[in-house]
Structure 1
Amino acid sequence: MAHGKTEKCEQDCYKGGTVLFMYLTGLGIRYWLMFSRYQSIIANHIEISTPLNSWKRVSEGLCLQSKGINPYEGDLLHEAPITILFYKVLTQWWKLDIKTIFLAFDAGTAVVLYFVAKKYMFHLFIEQEENKKQYALNSKEFLLSGSDFVNSPVFVASAFLFNPYTIFNCVGQSTVVFHNFFIALFLFCMLSGSVILSVLSLAICTMMSFYPIVLIIPLFLYSNGIYKSKFRAILTPILFIATLAAFITISIGLSNGTAFMKNVYGFILTVPDLQPNIGLFWYFFTEMFDHFRDLFISSFQINATVLYLIPLSVKFRKDPFLLTFAILCLISVFKSYPCLGDVGFVLSLLPCFIHLFNYSQQGFLVGVIFLITTALGPILWHLWIYSNSANANFYFGVTLAFAIAQIFLVTDILFAYLKREFCLNHGKERKIDGKDALLILE
């Protein structure tokens, strides 16, 4: 018995040492790149830096503010006043080194995501134990095993630490680093059942980039599942609205007016800056006639927010975390100013669904498209802007393929979830009422 305990302690120590080494290696790569000559090249790339997340703009805004000039009078700053105060506390009041700040928040995101995966796998284990009696007799091979519960959190942390998209996002000093940290904190608080902290984290994310406001639906569904009371669950969106209103009120007080609303949320929704990025907006509205602009802006923004929200929420209401993943993936595709940091964060969550990989069909295709488009993007940008041997169509073709890969990914994961649910309920045989069944994602 004592020998068994000793062996388990040795395994835990080995695992802990492996995880620590993984974190140190991931941070070491970021540290080396931050202090190398490649840092400025990465920071200036349009795949990393956008008008919404550029640290250079934040630095200039803080400088203007220190001289008594309103940074929202021009078209420079697109960060909310409350987040500018947050950056001011970190850099000017506490006098922390900028590179250290980005490294610390990126490391914090990796740590939080590790515990997010642990919480989610624990919930899956509880759900599996509660529903075992309802599953088909020959569905044992479809159940989660002990290795899935143990390995998934480690894979999530490593997927974040060694993902080139998140590495470049940190090295390029994109403020999406802070956004990802609070999104990860929101996921952890939601899975922990802490409504107040999850509402607070979500409100901060909404102040930063607006689009996370739609995540209140998964939070409501999760709260409803915890409390088993719609009355108590409906207090969650009410609390969120109150918190968001309080943050907006504070921002109005900090900026001495509502001018920031146009520069931050008006900028996100109306897309006045058509600088190329990895999204879909810039090319369409460069080619668009002005009298069609309002119609298509509305169509694109509806597509990025509420169009898929209701059907997905109805279909996947039993798994709010999967619903949250799907929404985050769609936001990273359809938001007006996306960057690689948004995509990297979503990809880091994939190992949470390690139990669905056996049912997915598009993994190889998606991986190849990601690899090719990631390599071709900077090349075609250089050919277009610097060599004058290509044009906007070449670069947009790459970004369009990149978006298609993300759509293939999320639909494949959602369909895999449905296939696994079918297998658990009906066993190996794909038959309903004695006839061969065909699974269709609707």
Structure 2
Amino acid sequence: MALILKYFVAGLVRYWLIHTDYWQTISNRVEIATPLNSWKRLIEGIYLYDHGIDPYEGDSFHESPIVLVFFHFMLKKVPYLLPLIFTLMDILTAHILYKTSKAFVLILEESQEKIKQNIAKESKTMLLNKSQLNEAPDYVLSVYLFNPYSVLNCVGMTSTVIQNLLVSVSLWGAASGQRLLACTFIALATHQALYPILLVVPISILLANVNKGCNKCSYNRTLLIFVLCWSFLIYISAYIMNGSYSYFYNTYGFILTVPDLKPNIGLFWYFFTEMFEHFRLLFVCAFQINALALYVVPLTLRFHKEPVLLATVLIALSTIFRSYPCVGDVGFYLAFLPLWKHLFTFMQQKFIVGCAFIITSVLGPTVWHLWIYSGSANANFFFGVTLSFATAQIFLITDLLFAYIKREFTLKHGSSRQIDGKPAKLVLR
């Protein structure tokens, strides 16, 4: 009953806000809408498509052809249901995250059982009990349903709502051992936004662990199915566009080359605004390597035994360093943090990070108003806030990873420290 009430209240809040006078303001906010996910741009693309004009010829539409056809059908048949559809998709995302976190909890419990014999005697009390494990999914659900970032993302009717749904289904499929489901939906998410391709690695590991087969064979099957699904989606998109692959430049090309420098909560726009043009290619490559490839191998080597943590961290890093991020991406990965609440005691920067999130979330709209409307600030002020927001997220992820390593060490070696056979103590001088 409590779960149904949560769904109802969260859905009611979203649906009500979409029908208020503030909806237009929310849907146009730079923190919520980007050139990739904006509802306004989607409507423009549908209008062009409906009048027989290729929406990818201009520079306003950057969604995939599949999303274009889906919303074209919706606007033609049931336009009055669109607010309800967005609300239901977001509530469905929350429900799938709840089911996913339940599956993740079973994986965490199983991994804990494997290392029990290697745990120090004095660290036995640190092991997670049933009640601690069972309450984590409820926290995940609540954080996603009532997180202002997630709520505003849904109210703004951005296509990030769809991306979050696709990623959540793929993670649930992986945690449940359903390879085809996981690969299909991560291919759909990749086809829409490209950066979810990073999740192929933790999904492959999860499927191998859950299905308990030959790891190498499992990885190969997962990769093969993903490539086939993604190739099929590319072919279908070309078929929708009458056999033309010209949409590539205004979808994947747009994400990778970052031609639109409209301010957002990311790091790309300011650097490329200030940069000399002849250095642009170098820095585009450097930024995209940082977002797409740099962290996958080292993190996988270190955390391959914890694919759930690896997936959480990769989602967060892709959110921070992608070319056009929004608060909907941030709200999505924040929902996974309650799974790791047993690490919070080992985290040292919780208060600082929490304050930074609150302050930057308030300062962002304030500084934007001062810059754009009052003319009493400039781009440096707004970028300072977005840089602080990104820094807070980086601190959060690094603190989470170090907390995991600290807990892992403490479980194995105990919490007591001795020097020359005597208890160690810290003396401030």
- Does TM-score exceed 0.5, indicating one fold? yes
Q: Is this contact kept in 2: 1:90–1:96, CA < 8 A?
A: no
> 1:250 and 2:236 equivalent?
yes
1:433/1:350 Cα in 2 relative to 1: closer, same or farther (>3 Å)?
farther
Q: State yes or no: 1:331 paired with 2:331.
A: no
**TM-superposed deviation, 1:146:** 2.2
Alignment partner, residue 99 of structure 2: 115
Residue pairs, 1:226-375, within 5 angstroms: 226-256=212-242, 257-375=244-362
Q: Say if 1:45 and 1:93 are closer, same or farther in 2 by CA, change over 3 A.
A: same
* Paired amino acid for 2:241: S
Q: Deviations over 1:306-325 (max 9, x none)?
A: 01111001000001111111
How far apart are residue 130 of structure 1 and its match?
A: 3.1
Compare 424-433 and 295-304 and name the one that shifted more.
424-433
After superposition, what is the alpha-carbon deviation per residue over 1:357-412, rounded to whole angstroms, capped at 9, x for unaligned?
Answer: 11111111100000000000000000000000000000000000000000001111
Alignment of 1:13-412 (within 5 A): 17-93=1-77, 97-225=81-209, 226-256=212-242, 257-412=244-399
- What is the CA-CA distance between 1:433 and the residue it aligns to? 11
1:224 positional shift: 3.1
Give the counterpart letter for 2:374 in structure 1. Answer: S
Residues 171 and 203 of structure 2 are in contact (CA less than 8 Å); yes or no, is this contact kept in structure 1?
no
Which stretch of structure 1 is more off in the superposition, 29-38 or 196-205?
A: 29-38
Q: Distance in 2 between matches of 1:241 and 1:172?
A: 32
Moved more, 274-283 or 17-26: 17-26
C-alpha separation between the residues in 2 aligned to 1:319 and 1:126?
11
* 1:82 Cα deviation from its structure 2 partner: 1.7
- Separation (CA, whole Å) in 2 of partners of 1:308 and 1:130: 27
TM-score w.r.t. length of structure 2: 0.95
Instruction: Give SS of 1:389's match.
Output: coil
Cα deviation for residue 200 of structure 1 reads 0.3
Cα distance in 1, alignment partners of residues 421 and 287 from structure 2: 45
Cα gap change, 1:434 to 1:223, in 2 (>3 Å): farther
Q: Are 2:178 and 2:207, in contact at CA under 8 Å, matched by a contact in 1?
A: no
User: Compared with structure 1, are the counterparts of its residues 430 and 183 closer, same or farther at alpha carbon in structure 2 (3 Å cutoff)?
Assistant: farther
Whole-angstrom distance in 2 between the partners of 1:22 and 1:414: 31
Q: Helix, strand or coil: the match of 1:113? A: helix
User: Does the Cα contact within 8 Å between 2:149 and 2:331 map onto a contact in 1?
Assistant: yes
1:434 CA drift (Å): 7.1
- Decide whether the 8 Å contact of 1:112 with 1:184 is kept in 2: yes
Deviation at residue 241 of structure 1 after TM alignment: 0.8
Whole-angstrom CA distance in 1 between matches of 2:178 and 2:201: 16
Q: CA deviation at 1:222?
A: 2.1
Distance 1:24 1:431, change over 3 A: farther
CA 1:141–1:290 in structure 2 vs 1: closer, same or farther (change >3 Å)? Answer: same
Q: Which runs of 5+ in 1 are unaligned?
A: 1-16, 438-442
For residues 47 and 120 of structure 1, do their structure 2 counterparts lie closer, same or farther at Cα, with a shift above 3 Å needed? same
Q: CA deviation at 1:93?
A: 4.6
Whether the 8 Å contact between 2:93 and 2:165 is mirrored in structure 1 is: yes
**Residue 57 (structure 1) shift:** 1.3
RMSD: 1.7
Q: Displacement of 1:32 after TM fit? A: 1.9
- Provide the C-alpha distance between the structure 2 equivalents of 1:47 and 1:417, rounded to a whole number of angstroms: 31
Q: Is the 8 A contact 1:369 1:401 kept in 2?
A: yes
Q: 1:70 to 1:352 in 2, by over 3 A?
A: same
Q: Distance in 2 between matches of 1:227 and 1:431?
A: 43
Q: Deviations over 1:174-221 (max 9, x none)?
A: 110010011111111111111110000100000110011121111222
Rate the CA distance shift 1:430–1:316 in 2: closer, same or farther, 3 A.
farther
Q: Which moved more, 1:428-437 or 1:49-58?
A: 428-437
Distance across 2 between alignment mates of 1:346 and 1:319: 16
- For residues 324 and 435 of structure 1, the distance between their equivalents in structure 2, rounded to whole angstroms, comes to 41
The letter for the 1-side match of 2:226 is: F
Distance (Å, rounded) in 2 between the aligned partners of 1:380 and 1:47: 12
Name the amino acid aligned to 1:126: E
